[in-house]
Amino acid sequence: MNAIEVHDLSKSYGKVRALSGISLEVENGEIFGLIGPDGAGKTTLFRILTTLLLADEGSASVNGLDVKKDYAAIRRQIGYMPGRFSLYQDLSVEENLEFFATVFGTTVEENYDVIKDIYSQIEPFKERRAGALSGGMKQKLALSCALVHKPSVLFLDEPTTGVDAVSRKDFWNMLARIKASGVTVFVSTPYMDEASLCDRVALIMHGKIIDSGTPAGIVAKYPYTLLSAKGTPMYPLLKYLRGKEGVINCFSFGAEHHLAIDSSVTDARKILSDMTEAGFKDCDVHRISPGIEDCFMNLAGENVRK
Amino acid sequence: MKEFLAFVKKEFRHILRDKRTMLIVLIMPIVQMILFGYAVRTEIEHARVDVVGDLTDPAVRKIVDRIDNNRYLDINEILPSVSMIPSRFEKNAADVVVCFGQDFGPELKKTGKGSVKIIGDGSDPNSAQMIVNYVTGVIRSEQTEISAALSGESSSGFSPSIQLMYNPAMKSSYNFVPGVMGLIMMIICSMMTSVSIVREKETGTMELLLVSPVKPIWIIISKALPYLIVSTINFITILLLSRYMMGVPIRGSLLLLSGVAVLFVFTSLSLGLLISIVASTQKSALLLSGMGLMMPTVLLSGIIFPCENMPGILQALSHLIPAKWFIIMVKKIMIQGAGFPYIIKEFSILAGMTAFLLTVSVKKFRIRL
């Protein structure tokens, strides 16, 4: 039995279609990443799976329990960390944790070993009000509260949004340890670079899953040769590259552009010389292996074209 | 049960840590009582009476002395001419002017008719009406004496003696104490409960609470409980203040009064719950309870404007205001000393309203987002 199963799930808010026909499966004991930009429908899917929203069509189950019919049973078995920091700001760290432990019918002492790894880091500040914690500490407290009743499935909705790079890395290490203790982790993130830290991922956009599988599997499916190009000025270069023959698509990636090319028509050397000829300065073009983001951009582009 | 206690503990922490709100909530009834008791009173005391007339005339003298001896009226100044009256009112130096006709006494003796004119400052119609009534009363009683003396009989005709059974001194506090009680309980229970539930929606903690195995009904009860206690404290404060500061009697049974208050608290709580279901932000909850509950309560429950004087449609509307029925009951119990049989109609109406509101709001309370 899979930890989470979703079949043809659809949900609309009035005219806006948040999810259209989503299907996915999350196996027991894995970290499954739901990756997509803001507004892709991640939070809606989370809320349906945590029994907070009802889907319009399709079915979904958590631990084999139907999200609509058996919502009460599911609520006892899952841990949920919503996207926003949603603990009580006017209660102290300790009081928050105790409250959520009691509400879920347990005590902090009983399950201390489950949260020890994470909670011990904020325990020195347990007298402090939750509202006065730093972003990273808030996140650790929220995770402790979601874990304190030993859930078998943990839902984390964008846990690393708005957290600094070091804390993000920290957080993923914690997730790895949580997974090691046998908990299934279903996590969403808008950061493509976090995909490689998941066992399996699903890419979501405009309420549709555009691809899913292991991060390596998704990258391996990338169909084109990928080049990275640099040169000044950047923006005219992007326009220039997009208009060139043999360039399938071109996207800006920070300080460089990634372009997919048809290798039977053109290659890196040709593009470099064309760029220099066209008057761009400090030019550099070399071949790179694609990342999840490249796959996402490509798939998203295909989806729009379709 | 342990879960429920944890909820209650949490709610108390929220309230106790928000010292400012707590202070406002506990002091509000005291301030309102003092405000209504001393600042917004409607009875008249020491109204200033100016006189235009010849004070050497014994008939005039007698009436003026009589006015001066009245506990509500004080003789202020003797004006030499009628033309000064407007400036006296403009300077707010007098509340009413009594003008005696020329040769008032001799005329009265000769023809049996005297002319007296009472000029009130009408810019505040309510108090002007009252002051003029007082002055008229004084003059009328003088008139009966004079006419008795003139006709030579001990008494002719009759004058009614008026007694207001339950409020002989016409104290306005008899009216506003029940009103303030209703208002305060309404504010505390509806506004505070709805805001505290909506706050959880707004900060996102409601999401977590709903995901927990705790039944929503317990969440609601734990939200209501602290405010039940706060309103009990307020109820006691108001009773103590009204009894010992305002001198409003509690003639009926205290137990019955408390029972009625508890019923009204439940009405207000269910209204607050209903608001928290409709509103999604604290601001809208505040506005809803402020405009949607407070305004109609103040205007239509008879605290300020008597329901009997309202146009038909507003009167019909006032029947829908729960506070109206509560206030009627409190008046009957506190001031008339009525027992349960005399308030059974109002009690049933309020109980029916409460049952209806409570079922609707508990039914509508969402188990999902």
Average pLDDT on B47-67 reads 87
Given pLDDT bands bounded at 50, 70 and 90, which one contains residue B152?
low
**CA pseudo-torsion sign A155, A7, A31, A204:** negative
B208 CA to chain A: closest CA distance, Å?
7
A positions 142-181 inside 8 Å of B (CB): 145
CB contact under 8 A, B204 and A86: yes
Nearest CB to B214: which of A88, A91, A103? A103
Phi, psi of A229 (to 5 degrees): -125, 140
Average pLDDT on B121-142 reads 84
Per-residue pLDDT at B326 = 94
Contacts of A89 in chain B (CB under 8 A): 203
**Reading across the β-sheet that carries A153-157, which strands appear in turn?**
A78-81, A153-157, A184-189, A31-35, A200-205, A208-213
CA distance B269 to B188: 9
For the domain covering A223-289, report its CATH number.
Answer: 3.30.70.100
Arithmetic mean of pLDDT over chain B: 85
CB burial of residue A269 (10 Å; 0-12, 13-18, 19+): exposed
Q: Is the pLDDT of residue B153 over 70?
A: no
DSSP bridge pairs for B100: B116
DSSP bridge pairs for A17: A12
Domain boundaries, chain B: 11-40+171-364, 47-151
Per-residue pLDDT at B192 = 87
DSSP 8-state symbol, A254:
T
Phi, psi of A49 (to 5 degrees): -70, -30
**Is A99 an 8 Å CB contact of chain B?**
yes
Chain B residue at shortest CA distance from A90: B14
Chain B residues with CB-CB distance to A under 8 A?
Answer: 2-3, 5-7, 9-10, 13-14, 17-18, 203-205, 207-214, 367-369
Average pLDDT on B148-171 reads 69
Per-residue pLDDT at B141 = 82
**Candidate from A29-38, A291-300, B41-50, B328-337 with smallest mean pLDDT:** B41-50
Angle made by CA atoms A285, A288, A292, in degrees to the nearest 5: 130
Chain A interface test: which of B212, B215, B222, B369 (most A C-beta within 10 Å)? B212
CB atoms within 10 A of CB B365: 16
CB contact under 8 A, A82 and B207: yes
B41 vs A192, which has greater pLDDT?
A192
Q: Which fold has domain B47-151?
A: abc type-2 transporter like fold (3.40.1710)
- Residue written as token pair 């202020």: B76
Q: Is the pLDDT of residue B156 over 60?
A: no
Angle made by CA atoms A183, A188, A190, in degrees to the nearest 5: 150
CB contact under 8 A, A90 and B7: no
Chain B residue at shortest CA distance from A92: B13
Per-residue pLDDT at B341 = 92
Given pLDDT bands bounded at 50, 70 and 90, which one contains residue B129?
confident
**Residues of chain A under the 70 pLDDT cut:** 306
**ipTM of the assembly?**
0.79
CB contact under 8 A, A102 and B18: no
Per-residue pLDDT at A45 = 94
Arithmetic mean of pLDDT over chain A: 90
Average pLDDT on B161-181 reads 79
Contacts of B6 in chain A (CB under 8 A): 98-99, 102-103
**Candidate from B24-33, B107-116, B348-357 with smallest mean pLDDT:** B107-116
Average pLDDT on B166-179 reads 78
Structure-block tokens of residue A137: 């500490």
CA distance A276 to B23: 74
**CA pseudo-torsion sign A12, A13, A14, A17:** negative
Q: What percent of chain A has pLDDT over 70?
A: 99
What's the CATH architecture for A4-219? 3-Layer(aba) Sandwich (3.40)
Contact status, residue B117 vs residue B98, Cβ threshold 8 Å: yes
- Delimiting residues of CATH 3.30.70.100 domain(s) in chain A: 223-289
Given pLDDT bands bounded at 50, 70 and 90, which one contains residue B290?
confident
A256 CA to chain B: closest CA distance, Å?
39
Per-residue pLDDT at B40 = 64
Contacts of A88 in chain B (CB under 8 A): 10, 14, 203, 205
Q: Is the pLDDT of residue B323 over 80?
A: yes
DSSP 8-state symbol, B195:
H
pLDDT digits (tens, 9 = 90+) for A270-298: 888 888 888 888 889 989 999 899 999 88
**Is A40 an 8 Å CB contact of chain B?**
no
**Is A212 an 8 Å CB contact of chain B?**
no
Q: Is the pLDDT of residue B154 over 60?
A: no
Residues 6+ apart with CB under 8 A from A202: A24, A32, A33, A34, A35, A209, A211, A212
CB contact under 8 A, B369 and A89: no
Per-residue pLDDT at B155 = 52
Grouping H, G, I as helix, E, B as strand and the rest as coil, residue B49 is strand
DSSP 8-state symbol, A124:
G
CA distance B316 to A176: 67
Per-residue pLDDT at B157 = 60
Chain B residue at shortest CA distance from A131: B203
Indicate the pTM of the whole model: 0.78
CA distance A116 to A123: 9
**Is A51 an 8 Å CB contact of chain B?**
yes
Given pLDDT bands bounded at 50, 70 and 90, which one contains residue B63?
confident
Contact status, residue B253 vs residue B339, Cβ threshold 8 Å: yes
Nearest CB to A103: which of B13, B212, B369? B212
Cβ-Cβ contacts under 8 Å between A and B: the total is 75
Per-residue pLDDT at B368 = 75
Please, what is the angle between helix B340-364 and helix B254-278, to 10°?
20
CB contact under 8 A, A103 and B14: no
Given pLDDT bands bounded at 50, 70 and 90, which one contains residue B10?
very high
CB contact under 8 A, A84 and B10: no
Given pLDDT bands bounded at 50, 70 and 90, which one contains residue B291?
confident
